[in-house]
Amino acid sequence: MTGLVIAPVLFRNYERMVAGDIAGRLFAAVSLLGMVCGALLLAFAAARARQRVWRDWRVVMLVVMLAITIIGELGLAARMRELKELMILPPVAPAVLSEFGRLHGIASLLFLANSALGLVLVIFGIRPRVQPGS
C-alpha cells in the first residue's frame, strides 16, 4: 500500500525532498512491521509443522519475502539514508545522485517482487481445513 498508493500521492502533493523523507519513514515502519510479522509467521509455522516446515512452499516463499525485506531495509535503505544526508547541502556530487538512483531502482524492484510474492501467497496459499474423516 505504501509504495503503490501513498508514495505517489506524497510526491504529487509535496516538495520532492519532503515527500521522499516521509515516504522513507513510512517504508522503514512498514519494513519493520513486515520483519516482525514474517518472523512470527515463521515461528508459528515451525512450531506447527516441526521438521516438515521446509516442505511447505508457503514457508519457503515467506522466507524469501523476509530476506527481501531485510536486504531492502538493512542494506539498501540504510545506504540510501546516508546518501540523502549528503544531498541536503549543495553542491551534490553526481556520483552520489547516481548511486542513490541506482539503489532506488533496485529497492523499487525488490518492493515490486515482494508485493508480487505476497499476492501469490494470499491468492494460492489459502487452503481449506481438512475435516477429520474427509
pLDDT at residue number 111: 93
- Per-residue pLDDT band for 123 (boundaries 50, 70, 90) equals very high
- Cα 44 to the chain's mean position, in Å? 21
Q: Where are the alpha helices (DSSP H) in 50-93?
A: 57-70, 78-86
* 129 occurs within a structural domain: no
Cell triple for 81:
539514508
Indicate the number of domains in the chain.
Answer: 1
Angle 57-70/94-124 helices, nearest 10 degrees? Answer: 160
Q: Is the pLDDT of residue 124 over 60?
A: yes
* 128 occurs within a structural domain: no
- In eight-state DSSP terms, residue 90 is S
* 134 occurs within a structural domain: no
Angle 16-49/78-86 helices, nearest 10 degrees? Answer: 170
* 52 occurs within a structural domain: yes
Look over the chain and give the mean of its residue pLDDT values, rounded to a whole number: 90
* 132 occurs within a structural domain: no
Handedness of CA 85, 18, 68, 46 (dihedral sign): positive
pLDDT at residue number 101: 95
Q: Containing domain of residue 76, as a range? A: 2-123
Instruction: Tell me if 118 sits within 8 A of 65, measured CB to CB.
Output: yes
* 130 occurs within a structural domain: no
Q: Is the pLDDT of residue 134 over 60?
A: no
* 115 occurs within a structural domain: yes
Instruction: Tell me if 84 sits within 8 A of 126, measured CB to CB.
Output: no
Q: Is the pLDDT of residue 125 over 90?
A: no
Start-to-end Cα distance in the chain = 39
Tens-digit pLDDT profile for residues 57-102: 999 999 999 999 999 999 999 999 999 999 888 899 999 999 999 9
The closest alpha carbon to 87, from 103, 71, 75, 73, belongs to: 103
